[in-house]
Each structure stands twice: as C-alpha cells, then as structure tokens.
Amino acid sequence: MGATTFGVIIGNRGFFPGILARDGREEVLRALAERGYKTICLTPEDTKFGAVETLEDARKCADLFKRHREEIDGILVSLPNFGDERGVANSIRMSGLDVPVLVHAYPDAADKMRMGARRDSFCGKISVCNNLWQYGIRYTLTESHTVAPTSDSFRSDLNSFAATCRIVKGLRNVRVGVLGARPAAFNTVRFSEKLMEHAGITVETLDLSEAFGRIGRLKDEDPQVEAKLGSIRGYVSTGGIPVPSLVKMAKFGVVVDEWMRASELAGTSVQCWTAMEEFFGVVPCTLMSMMSNRLLPSACETDMIGMIGMYILQLASGTPSAIVDWNNNYGDDPDKCVIFHCSNLPKDFFEDFKMDFQEIIAGSVGKDNTFGTVVGKLKTGPVTFCRASTDDLHGRMRAYVGEGETTDDRPQSFGGYGVMKVRGLQGLLQYICKNGYEHHVAVNRSSFGAAVREALGNYKRWDVYHHLAEGQ
C-alpha cells in the first residue's frame, strides 16, 4: 500500500498573529511526514507563510493542486488561527478536485487567550465548515473539535481519514469479475449490475463452460500449471490430497489469473457449487483463498456485491479480507456468534490451517470431487465487518458496517470458523433481517468502521448504517 498524499491548505486570518500560521504550517507538515504521509502545500515563497487567505492565494493553491491532481488522495485543511473561510472554500472549488476533505483546528491554551497569542480556531472551524457546506463540498471532521497535530488523537484521525481516501479512490472506476452463474438455490446473492455501474463499479463475466474449455487446452506439464502447483503447495499443507485434484486446481488458477490480467479485474466472485464439483471434480476454495490473501479478493457463491465489501475493507486496511456467514449463536451470550465458511478464507485469518474436502456437499457429489477447501480456526483480534448491497427496489447502493473482535472460544466445527463478539449484536441482527440484507458479511482484521462509514456514506453517498452499540 503506497503512501497517501494530502493536499494541505493552511488557513490564515490577517489580524491574527502571522507567527501562528507560520509555525502551524511547519508543525502540521512535520507531523504528516513523521507519520509517513506525502504532502503538497504552498510554500512561503508562494504566499505569506505558505498559507491561504486572499482570493489570489486561493488561485495559487488551486493551481498547485491541479498540477498534482493525479497524486492527491485527499485534502487536509488546517487552521492554526481563525483562518479565512472563503480562501479555504475557494481553493478547493477552483482546484476541481473531487476528493475527501479533513478539517482540522488547533486548540487554544487556557493561559494564552489575549490578542497576540489566542487562535480562535475553535470558532474559525465552524465558519470554514459553513462555507464548505454552502459550496456543496463534502468534508470530514476530527474526533475532537480542536486537536494538537502532535497528539495521538490526531494520529488516529489521520489514519482513519487516509483509509477513507483509499476507499473513495479505490471505488472509482474499479473492474470486477463474476465467474459462472448464480447458484440456483441462492436468491440472496442477486445484485444489480446497473446500480453497480452507476456507482463506478464495472462487472465482467465469464461462463464456467468457457473456463473449463480453457482448462481443457492446458497440459499437466505446462510451465504455468507447474508453477501454480508449486504455489499451492507453498501456500497450504496438502497432505492426503490426491495429486490429480491438485493439478486441476492449478489449471483452474492459471485460467483465472489470465482472465483477471486480461480484464484488469480487482476482484472476483465464483460459482463454487455444484457444477464445479460435478463436472470438474474439485472446489475452487484454495485458489480463491490465495487470491484474497494477495489482495485480489474473491467471494464464493457468485456474491459479487459481497466481494465489494471485502474490497472496501481491504482498501481501508491494506490487508486481506474474507467473506463469511453470520452462521450460529454461541451458547447464551447475546453478543457472540459463530462466523463460518466452508472455506475460502485467506490464510492471513487462520491460527493454522490445511487443505481438506468440502464436507457440506461431499454427500451429494462424492468426497473425491470436493477437495480444495482451506480449513482452520480464526485468529483472535479486532475485526471490522461490512456488508455492501444493491437495493434494487429503491435504486440505491447501501451498506452496513461495524466493529467487533474474534475471541479465543473454540467451537467444534469444520471449515473456516471462529467466534466473533459484537456489542449490541442482537440489535444488529434485527437491523439485518428487517432491512433484507444477505447472510454473507465481509470481515477484515482491523478497526476501520468509521472510515468505511465516512467513505461510503459521506463521499460515495450510499445509504449506510454504522453499528454502534449503546454506550459507544
């Protein structure tokens, strides 16, 4: 994940001490650099203190941002003093950039409230936000109204805002692919390609018969097949798995990799049963796990929009995502449940794992036709969950997002499984059921719920529910 680049606007108001703008600019840029962010900002040679106050300053700032428009992921507005509300809004409007904006204000010191030392950024931030609102420019706020750039709180604000920027950028003109038709028994994974296209997400398709035809032209000794076979064995323990099954998986992986490269796909969803097992003789889970683990998310049961949830969380964290079922209650604890799939989870999620057969459908198609799942217990730790969905009845994109944790509870299960604790889980499940959401949910080993809410709800303008339990 490359460094996020911010266009930085330092606000200034002339009748406040100029030293505040000068020192504030230096401190903010230093704090950003120390935290690994790249910046594009006016210099003291461009304007007074490298800040923005006048219309001329705003034009210079806008021109600078235009020259770097392909680099800038988001804009940080920082107010070392009250700032000029029009200068900030004009800079952004005239730049033509359509990126997230974070508004930051410096705190005043209680013993420095006389003229010559006071900032009034507390008040200035409200005025800047009012002007951005009037201009139709959407923006994000820091958790605390005023916050020091050197504080842990501001570090958290930046991390969350950078994740928001990555999601917004990553969902712009993204291409994804669905391999095979929707399994007949899964109405729940229906989705609208047209709504997704309107949201900037293009869906490419490939029929299973085409994939099988391409596989049929590959020889066992093909160098690509041998290389993919080596990758599979290097990824997961394959003890007890028949070699012919592994070769079939390798051929499937070669075909899917080439399709993704040719179509420039960021992720996929796959018709994982039962045609794959009946007419090809393996499950695709291991290959899907491998793709997700190398940040090419892949969802089962042709859950295309579920894969978008995986991709959103991956953009936020820079780490692999998985798709799971909200699957079982866990004893009598109302805030715990079992999350499960049979499974194609990336190995980044597991304490330990191995390749096995798909127990759910082995009874109907035979065990020998179902090798290729990856199974094991999930690691403990924080989790962000997200479900994206197309609301065809109302013509909109929608999602819910929240945070929880996987626990050290150890249920007896097969597949990929773990226990997740979510505060207020029963209320969340009520929301999911009452609003007709799917049984799949994307999960990521991170804590970026607020960033996802901000990206999808504020900037992408989806209908978003952010699950916050009472008291949070």
Q: Under 8 Å CB-to-CB from 44, ≥6 apart: which residues?
A: 22, 50
CB-based contact 398:466 (threshold 8 Å) = no
* Integer Cα distance of 137 and 451 in angstroms: 18
Confidence (pLDDT) at 15:
73
Q: What does pLDDT average to over the chain?
A: 95
Q: Under 8 Å CB-to-CB from 86, ≥6 apart: which residues?
A: 55, 58, 131
State the average pLDDT over residues 121-128: 96
Q: What percent of the chain stands above pLDDT 70?
A: 98
Confidence (pLDDT) at 112:
76
The 10s digit of each residue's pLDDT in 18-50 is 889 999 999 999 999 999 999 999 999 999 999
Report the DSSP pairing between strands 140-141 and 174-179.
Answer: unpaired
* Integer Cα distance of 275 and 325 in angstroms: 21
> Which H helix or E strand runs over 259?
helix 243-263
The 10s digit of each residue's pLDDT in 406-442 is 999 999 999 999 999 999 999 999 999 999 999 999 9
Structural domains in the chain?
Answer: 5-170 (3.40.50.10940), 174-466 (3.40.275.10)
Residue 374 tokens, joined: 């990856």
Confidence (pLDDT) at 116:
67
> Which H helix or E strand runs over 406?
strand 396-406
Question: How distant, in Å, are the alpha carbons of 44, 91, 93, 251 from that of 56?
Answer: 14, 10, 14, 61
Greatest Cα-to-Cα distance within the chain, rounded to the nearest angstrom? 82
Residue 400 tokens, joined: 């819910």
Hey, what amino acid is at 352? D
State the average pLDDT over residues 250-264: 98
The 10s digit of each residue's pLDDT in 48-90 is 999 999 999 999 999 999 999 999 999 999 999 999 999 999 9
The 10s digit of each residue's pLDDT in 334-391 is 999 999 999 999 999 999 999 999 988 888 899 999 999 999 999 999 999 999 999 9
The 10s digit of each residue's pLDDT in 133-165 is 999 999 999 999 999 999 999 999 999 999 999
Confidence (pLDDT) at 471:
47
